[in-house]
Amino acid sequence: MSQNIVDREQYRPHIHYTPAANWMNDPNGLVYFGGLYHLYYQYNPYSSSHANMHWGRATSTDLVHWQEREVALPEHKHQVFSGSAVVDWHNTSGFGQGRQPPLVACYTGHTADNQAQFLAYSLDQGVTWTYHDEPVLDLGKQDFRDPKIFWHAASAQWIMVVVHPVERQVELYGSGNLREWTSLSIFGPVGFTGGIWEVPDLFPLEDETGRTHWVMKVDLNPGGPYGGSGVQYWLGNFDGQNFTATTSARWLDHGNDFYAALTWNDLTGRRVWIAWMSNWRYAHDVPTLGWRGAMTLPREVCVCADPDLPTLAQRPVPELQALRQHWTDLQGGGRFSLTEHQAHEVLLQWPALPDGRVILEFHSASGCELSVEVVLEEVVVRRPATVSTTLLEGYSGEHRGKLPSHLTQHDLHIFLDASSVEVFAAAGRIVISDLLFPSEAIREMTVHVSGLEPASFQGELWSLNSSTP
């Protein structure tokens, strides 16, 4: 095996979706239809750099095992930038034939001097697509993109949320047929405005008391919590015309590598999203060869009715438990071996005591490649520089999330893959998502516990089967 192949495969994920080759970024067109989770994404089929944007395609029956498919929407008179897809159950668009409802994608058509919103439709459950060549929303602007569309039953209309990036605004539009759109309202500028706004989403969630909250999510670049990309959200109300925030803007993920998250349309009973796991600050320079870009693990999204303020929480989808293979008891802490060429899952729980402190260190033969610490109501992930990351500006450092003060128990849920770590704390209220490019493969985890009775510290370590073909 050549050294190039060894280097390329060193960081290929075991449980995160990435195409076999070339560049990938934002998820697009997430929709559940025909028993399949459809995942489209920004894709360059010619190289591992950002250019020539098409919609790549993958499908899954369980949100865990993904099968890469042929390109869905190739470059067509313009680059096919980010967007969304819906099942047009009642054929409001007129694209359907017979009883089969069409899948309709709404995306940004990008040229050097203009961005406008276009449609494409599929009559075979997302396999092949037909372009509707005329734009359905064109303001003659250079920056106007990323439409997320959904059906709003209460006002009996399709809603589109789309960004004006430079103005730091989200505009809401309404339509009865997906072809003709009327402006409803504008949200922003507000919250974090240190970079352009991108990839909005708007959706309702019920908390455990039955109260409905609408979530407005907007990405920005730069201006994130560590200077690069970031994601902010508000909770509030939506009446079919206006979104009114009832909270201030908060960071959705406290790591460096979570961007462009979108929720699946037409998924009944729960809300699930996935994001691009990278950061525009160094996305073009990550040390992979032949491929570049991966998705986060899919996450269920919910709202916790906390005493001080309702809070958005993200939790790994339970379908991931099907990957669990070998189990190790972590009670009391200690030193534990990790299985080579596999991903791992760590679950920890302990009393939230003032003097309690838990530190996890992940070691390769070259030394500590990652640490996760919980102390004084804060989660800290430390990502040191390695020989593979010397060119990645903004890679090394500490990423922090403050835990709620009302907790009586602390918990950590960690997924460690070949080139990433996702840390969920406080039942998903705090999430830290980071790419990880260790000098050598991580072989050992050390769990340091202080200020706690050994029996009160409970934990599990799982090696995970690969979800990739």
pLDDT tens readout for residues 95-121: 999 888 999 999 999 999 999 999 999
- Give me the number of domains the chain comprises: 2
Burial of 35 from C-beta contacts in 10 A (0-12 / 13-18 / 19+): exposed
Q: Would 7 be classed as within a structural domain?
A: no
Distance CA 308, CA 301 (A): 19
Residues 30 and 126 in one domain: yes
Residue 336 vs residues 17, 345, 360: alpha-carbon distances, Å: 27, 13, 11
pLDDT for residue 8 is more than 50: no
CB 403 within 8 A of CB 410: yes
Identified catalytic residue from 26, 253, 257, 411: 26
Name residues whose C-beta falls within 8 Å of residue 52's C-beta, 6 or more positions apart in sequence. Answer: 44, 45, 46, 75, 79
Residues 208 and 138 in one domain: yes
Q: Would 5 be classed as within a structural domain?
A: no
Q: Would 8 be classed as within a structural domain?
A: no
Helix (H) or strand (E) run with residue 14 in it = none
CATH of the domain at 158: 2.115.10.20
Residues 155 and 221 in one domain: yes
Residues 21 and 129 in one domain: yes
Strand pairing class (22-33; 291-292): parallel
Residues 278 and 374 in one domain: no
Last residue of a domain, one of 247, 264, 296: 296
Give catalytic status of residue 207 as yes or no.
Answer: no
Name residues whose C-beta falls within 8 Å of residue 51's C-beta, 6 or more positions apart in sequence. Answer: 23, 44
Residues 273 and 380 in one domain: no
Residues 203 and 342 in one domain: no
CATH of the domain at 344: 2.60.120.560
Rg of the chain on CA atoms, in Å: 22
Using one digit for the tens of pLDDT, what is the confidence trace for 400-421?
Answer: 999 999 999 999 999 999 999 9
Residues 98 and 234 in one domain: yes
pLDDT for residue 3 is more than 70: no
417 — phi, psi (to 5°)? -115, -175
Residues 283 and 356 in one domain: no
Last residue of a domain, one of 296, 331, 351: 296
Q: Would 411 be classed as within a structural domain?
A: yes
Cα torsion 133, 128, 70, 63: sign = positive
Q: Both tokens of residue 236?
A: 């509030």
Q: What is the mean pLDDT of residues 171-189?
A: 98
Residues 167 and 113 in one domain: yes
Going through 338-428 in order, the beta strands assigned E by DSSP cover 343-351, 357-364, 367-375, 378-383, 397-402, 409-417, 420-425
Q: Which pLDDT band holds residue 7 (cuts at 50, 70, 90)? A: very low
Q: Would 10 be classed as within a structural domain?
A: no
The residue range of the domain holding 134 is: 17-296
Helix (H) or strand (E) run with residue 319 in it = none
Q: Would 144 be classed as within a structural domain?
A: yes
Residues 334 and 290 in one domain: no
Residues 206 and 71 in one domain: yes
